[in-house]
Structure 1
Amino acid sequence: MMKIQSGVTTILMLMLLLCAEIPVHAADKKLTSLLAPYDEWYFNFLYPNALPADVTYVELLDTDGILYRYRALDGTIPSSTTVAEWEDDLSVGMASFNKAKNPPQAMHFCWDSIIDKKVYETWITFGYPVWEMMLTPYPSPWDASVQEYRRYLVIGLAPEGKVRVWLENT
Structure 2
Amino acid sequence: MSRWLLCLILVLGLTGCQSSAATNPKLPYAAWYLGFLAPNYMEVWLERADISDINGLIFPRAMGGVVAMGQPESLSATARGWPKRIGSGKGRSMTGLDLPYVVSLRWQSMVEPQTYHAAFLIPDWARRKMVESLPADCPVSGRTSDYRKDLTIGLAPGGVVKVWIMGPCLDPIEVLTLQAEIEPKGPYGGKSGGKYRPLSPVVKAYVDKYGVPYGSWWAPIPYTTVGP
Give the TM-score normalised by structure 2.
0.55
Distance of 2:54 and 2:115 partners within structure 1: 28
**Does the 8 Å CA contact 1:44/1:74 hold for their aligned counterparts?**
no
**Does the 8 Å CA contact 1:154/1:167 hold for their aligned counterparts?**
yes
How many positions carry a matched residue from both structures?
147
Between 1:74-83 and 1:40-49, the stretch displaced more is: 74-83
- Within-5 A mapping of 1:4-153: 11-13=7-9, 35-70=26-61, 73=64, 75-80=66-71, 83-92=79-88, 95=91, 97=92, 99-100=94-95, 101-142=97-138, 146-153=144-151
**Does the 8 Å CA contact 2:32/2:149 hold for their aligned counterparts?**
yes
Which of these two proteins has the greater Rg computed from alpha carbons? 2
The alpha-carbon distance between structure 1 residues 162 and 10, as it changes in their structure 2 partners (threshold 3 A), is closer
Q: Give the percent of matched residue pairs that are identical in Structure 1 and Structure 2.
A: 23
**Does the 8 Å CA contact 1:35/1:64 hold for their aligned counterparts?**
no
Q: Helix, strand or coil: the match of 2:38?
A: strand
Please state if 1:156 is matched with 2:151: no
Q: Helix, strand or coil: the match of 2:64?
A: coil
Higher relative contact order (CA 8 A, sep 6+): 1
Deviation at 1:50, TM superposition (A): 1.6
Give the TM-score normalised by structure 1.
0.72
CA root-mean-square deviation: 3.1
The alpha-carbon distance between structure 1 residues 167 and 88, as it changes in their structure 2 partners (threshold 3 A), is farther
Alignment gaps of 5+ in structure 2 = 13-23, 72-76, 169-228
The alpha-carbon distance between structure 1 residues 94 and 148, as it changes in their structure 2 partners (threshold 3 A), is farther
Alignment gaps of 5+ in structure 1 = 1-8, 17-31
Distance of 1:94 and 1:76 partners within structure 2: 6
